[in-house]
């Protein structure tokens, strides 16, 4: 959690309507902290086994879905259930594991020819 002083510094350095910040390094550090917090939250919500089982295609879908979620809400307001919901949407509807296996087999056969 940010202290009052840290929050005031971030607000003072926040980019103006032209995208210019008085302290871009501070804003970059703050954004990196937010991204790391969200990444940790996703890893905690899904667990290493679920993440490791994803195909590159599913990872792309999940990253885009989570990015849209992060654009709509603060990383502190996103729940573990919402993260799991995005995972289920990707792995059960957009690109199920069975479909991924078919695509992988097809690609493997194409390389052999």
Among the listed residues 44, 38, 49, the one whose alpha carbon sits nearest the alpha carbon of residue 91: 49
Domain-embedded: residue 104: yes
Q: Is the pLDDT of residue 103 over 80?
A: no
Domain-embedded: residue 103: yes
Domain-embedded: residue 1: no
Q: Percentage of residues in the chain with pLDDT exceeding 70?
A: 97
- Mean residue pLDDT of the chain comes to 90
Number of structural domains found in the chain: 1
Domain-embedded: residue 81: yes
Predicted TM-score of the model (pTM): 0.76
Domain-embedded: residue 86: yes
Domain-embedded: residue 96: yes
Q: How far is CA 60 from CA 15, 49, 52, in A?
A: 29, 17, 13
Q: Which of 14-18, 21-25, 79-83, 106-110 has the lowest mean pLDDT?
A: 106-110
Q: Is the pLDDT of residue 107 over 80?
A: no
Owning domain of residue 97:
9-13+21-112
Domain-embedded: residue 37: yes
The mean pLDDT value for 64-71 works out to: 95
């Amino acid at each position: 959690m940010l202290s009052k002083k840290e929050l005031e510094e971030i607000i003072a350095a926040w980019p103006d309507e032209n995208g210019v910040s008085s302290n871009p390094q501070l804003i970059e550090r703050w954004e990196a902290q937010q991204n790391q917090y969200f990444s940790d939250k996703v890893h905690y919500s899904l667990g290493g086994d679920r993440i490791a089982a994803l195909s590159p295609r599913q990872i792309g879908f999940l990253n885009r879905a989570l990015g849209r979620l992060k654009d709509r809400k603060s990383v502190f307001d996103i729940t573990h259930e919402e993260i799991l919901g995005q995972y289920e949407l990707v792995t059960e509807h957009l690109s199920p594991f069975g479909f991924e296996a078919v695509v992988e087999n097809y690609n493997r056969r194409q390389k052999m020819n």
